[in-house]
Structure 1
């Protein structure tokens, strides 16, 4: 494990591969951590691979007690850009899903000169907060029960008291064909002991529905995201056919990807794409940026 001061964070991250190879940054989602990429990294020889813990997860820490424990999308995108700046990485292939996919999409949309290619789970992950009050079909709404649960203080208390059980339940519901064992879950569950985990998670699921104020420091970024900017970099979108939260979200034909899009649906794969289908995830990275 390595550390770097990047923006408002002291970021903990794993690094592997060839220090002189093309840089690849892999970003985890909720409720997961860097171990989602344990089987992906060995499949990327010849690359410089970096896998950070996001804000509120694992050993990553806020540098100041006064920094808002925001989980909003703009903060995640800024964190990624700051991480690249701190390590003097001018351009990289970005790969992510869930929260990590959102951060990767944001950097690709707002600072495309920093992105050589994008691998995203479930397509375009930038939130349209202005439209968050519009109801979806009941079949879609029921999958988001955990988000609505966290809108109230009962949910905050439940996450605080049962953070491991909460995550394990989501793993089962979101990846019904993935038979993970206790050891695999325990490796990731350590990340939920972060002292800021609950606050960051709760804020994320409230802010995206307009129920919590954002961090003024990233308000300008959030305003740009409200315009749903296009992503003008080469992109591969991966979607698990068995995803129990995103449902069927094949990104084929999405006009917001203006730099070229290849969309693939992965049979028998749920929400945690890199951990369930590491070969497919690594192959997408290699396709966007051949090493050597």
Structure 2
């Protein structure tokens, strides 16, 4: 199995994205999250024939440069995703974690025909208030608002990354992948940029609450793009119960709960996730 992928570069949204490509066939844009990098999709690629997974390093990660305007907001990465889908000439987008957030932004464009997201439901900012227990699960988000967050993330060879993988996906054992993710986070300003994603998200949420009050999860943009929403049944990062109302955000969608999987379901149960994706995009 090719675990590194073929390196590629593409210009989209006014910046160069470097990425990894796996397999041969119809192109799918795959967007990674945190703490992760494009090679997170290697196991999924091994289960898919006739598909070429194109997985760029997200804005500010590894060899993809940071944002010159220091914008790592959900809106900014959504624009990246839409531009990447167009530049790579793909009809289908798959996003995990922050990649899911970016994919929702791309759905606002006319570029994407179908999409699949994993581990983060739409309207997450509103769901935080609707499901108070999620505030506790999201402790790392509040930790990343602290002035010393980047230093803490880097401490003891990114020990926090080990803790997040272990707690988000109980029983998950993938030391080799975690080690390469740490190498990506150690590259340049990647760690600081990764933390900036969370700071910009919280800033946008706070601004929205100040302007309009706490939003009900039933309110918001309704996506026309048919979307598959996958969640690990044992996800301890973002509770699977947040998907109970996910359908309110779409004209057409399907929610799938993957058994015996946590937050990194595409690495824990790649064959199951591949079957779901193959059926959805067929």
Q: TM-score range by the shorter chain?
A: 0.7 to 0.9
- Give the Cα–Cα distance (whole angstroms) in 2 for the partners of residues 13 and 283 of structure 1: 24
- Taking the TM superposition and a 5 Å limit, the aligned residue runs for 1:221-240 are 228-240=220-232
1:172 maps to 2:166: yes
Report if aligned partners of 2:20, 2:39 keep a CA contact under 8 Å in 1.
Answer: no
Greater mean alpha carbon deviation, residues 247-256 or residues 192-201: 247-256
| 1:256 corresponds to | 249
User: Residue 201 of structure 2 corresponds to which residue in structure 1?
Assistant: 208
Whichever structure has more helix as a proportion of its residues is 2
SS at match of 1:26: strand
Q: What are the superposed Cα offsets for residues 57-84 of structure 1, whole Å, 9 maximum, x if unpaired?
A: 222124x7xx123321011111112223
Is contact 1:77–1:103 with CA below 8 Å preserved after alignment?
Answer: yes
2:140 aligned with 1:120, yes or no? no
Match of 1:193 among 167, 186, 192: 186
Deviations 1:9-53 (A, max 9, x none): 3211122333xx432111111101112111111222222321111
What is the TM-score of this pair, normalised by structure 1? Answer: 0.81
Match of 2:216 in 1: none
Query: Pairwise mapping of residues 7-86 of structure 1 onto structure 2 (< 5 A)?
Result: 7-18=13-24, 21-62=25-66, 67-86=68-87
Change (3 A) 1:230 1:153: same
Matched residue, 1:100: 99
**Structure 2 unpaired stretches of 5+:** 1-6, 208-218
Q: TM-score, normalised by structure 2?
A: 0.83
C-alpha contact (below 8 Å) 1:2/1:12 kept by paired residues: yes
Q: Structure 1 residues 126, 23: closer, same or farther in 2, change over 3 A?
A: farther
1:195 Cα deviation from its structure 2 partner: 2.0
Over 3 Å counting, the alpha-carbon distance change for 1:212 and 1:244 in structure 2 is: closer
How many angstroms apart in 1 are the aligned matches of 2:15 and 2:124? Answer: 23
CA distance in 2 between counterparts of 1:127 and 1:140 reads 10
Structure with bigger RCO (C-alpha 8 Å, 6+ apart): 1
Any gaps of 5 or more consecutive residues in structure 1?
215-226
Alignment check: 8 A CA contact 1:30 1:98 kept: yes
Partner of 2:4: none
Note the C-alpha offset of 1:152. Answer: 1.4
3-state DSSP of counterpart to 1:15: strand
Q: Over aligned residue pairs, what C-alpha RMSD do you find?
A: 2.6
